[in-house]
Amino acid sequence: MKRQHIVAGNWKMNKSFEEGKDLAEAVAAGLNESDTIAILAPPFIHLSAVSMTVQQKLNLKLAAQNCHQEQGGAYTGEISIDMLKSVGVEYVILGHSERREYFGEEATLLAKKVDAVLAAGLKPIFCCGEKLPIREAGTHTELVSDQIKGALFHLSAEAFADVVIAYEPVWAIGTGVTASPEQAQEMHAVIRQLVAGQYGAEVADATTILYGGSVKPANAKELFSQPDVDGGLVGGASLKPDDFLAIIDSF
């Protein structure tokens, strides 16, 4: 398998139902056919409506922002992977720094979610990344490596092949401060090497590694031109169709 170019838009807890439908329609209408896969990750409640729109384009896919690790049952307020699958979801964002920070998600739980997503035939977009004090202390590569090892390295090479990794330095998320192309490349190369050490060079070369953290039209081209940056996970700029489309067109 070859690694892919992916640009995923994480809408977080934004947009009413009508606004969400309009945003998805605008992205679908403006999306050029290309090898780049564009992914929309709206809030759960908009997934089935956005799913209709996503079907209009071959290179447009649907993601959930989270899922529950159990198959179903007495988990009030939660959403199962089978429910997601039944409305056309193909990717699930896991381990986003906001899930880690506000909902206490860490390696043991994330490993269960990763397993459940893969078992259902969906693809996790696994987020990792350090907070500012860790970057300032110079221990970011260790921290990110531990996040990846703890939640992913129990997988077989075959299962791991369906995992997308998103490196998202927490200090760059929603702050307007972007990692420099060199900082992104450095960490992406570390991640690819780590994967090579565990699964071999072929698997590592085929692993899609996205950068996330204040990606916008003005910086996407330079970030995406780095040899180990295979695309982006985009928050704020994914809420504006023109910006999101410009980012997708930045390869």
Name residues contacting ligand PEP, limited to 10-39 (CB under 6 A): 10
173 sits near ligand PEP (criterion: CB under 6 A) = yes
Largest pairwise CA distance in the chain:
47
Does the annotation count 168 as an active-site position?
yes
One of 68, 96, 140, 188 is an active-site residue; which one? 96
**Is 98 a residue of the active site?**
no
Distance of alpha carbon 239 from its chain centroid, rounded? 16
Provide the CB-side half-sphere exposure for 166 (13 A, CA): 28
Of 13 and 74, the one with the shorter C-beta distance to ligand PEP is 13
3-state secondary structure of 213: coil
Taking the complex as a whole, how short is the minimal distance between the CB of residue 127 and ligand PEP, in angstroms? 7
Q: Which of 214, 231, 245, 250 binds ligand PEP (CB under 6 A)?
A: 214
Contact 37, 31 (CB under 8 A): no
Phi–psi pair at 149, nearest 5 degrees: -60, -45
Query: What is the pattern of x (binds ligand PEP, CB under 6 A) and - over residues 127-166?
Result: ----------------------------------------
Cα–Cα distance measured from residue 189 to residue 184, given in angstroms and rounded to the nearest whole number = 9
Minimum Å distance from CB 105 to ligand PEP? 14
Residues 218-247 that bind ligand PEP (CB under 6 A): 233-237
Q: How many whole angstroms separate alpha carbon 80 and alpha carbon 67?
A: 6
Residues 59-98 that bind ligand PEP (CB under 6 A): none
CA distance 208 to 164: 5
Structure tokens at 82: 């089978």
First to last CA, the chain: 20
Helix extents (H) in 92-225: 97-103, 107-119, 132-137, 140-152, 157-160, 181-199, 201-206, 217-224
Nearer to ligand PEP, 155 or 247 (CB): 247
Give the shortest CB-56-to-ligand PEP separation in angstroms. 25
Binding piece for ligand PEP, criterion CB under 6 A, among 43-51, 76-84, 115-123, 209-217: 209-217
Residues touching ligand PEP, count (CB under 6 A) = 13
Whole-angstrom distance, CA of residue 234 vs CA of residue 247: 9
By beta carbon distance, the residue nearest ligand PEP is 235
Q: Which residues contact 48 (CB under 8 A, 6 or more apart)?
A: 87, 88
- Residue 248 Cβ vs ligand PEP, minimum distance, rounded to whole Å: 14
Q: Taking the complex as a whole, how short is the minimal distance between the CB of residue 210 and ligand PEP, in angstroms? A: 9
Shorter beta-carbon distance to ligand PEP: residue 195 or 220: 220
Residues belonging to the active site: 96, 168
Q: Which residues in this chain contact ligand PEP in the complex, by CB under 6 A?
A: 10, 168, 173-174, 212-215, 233-237
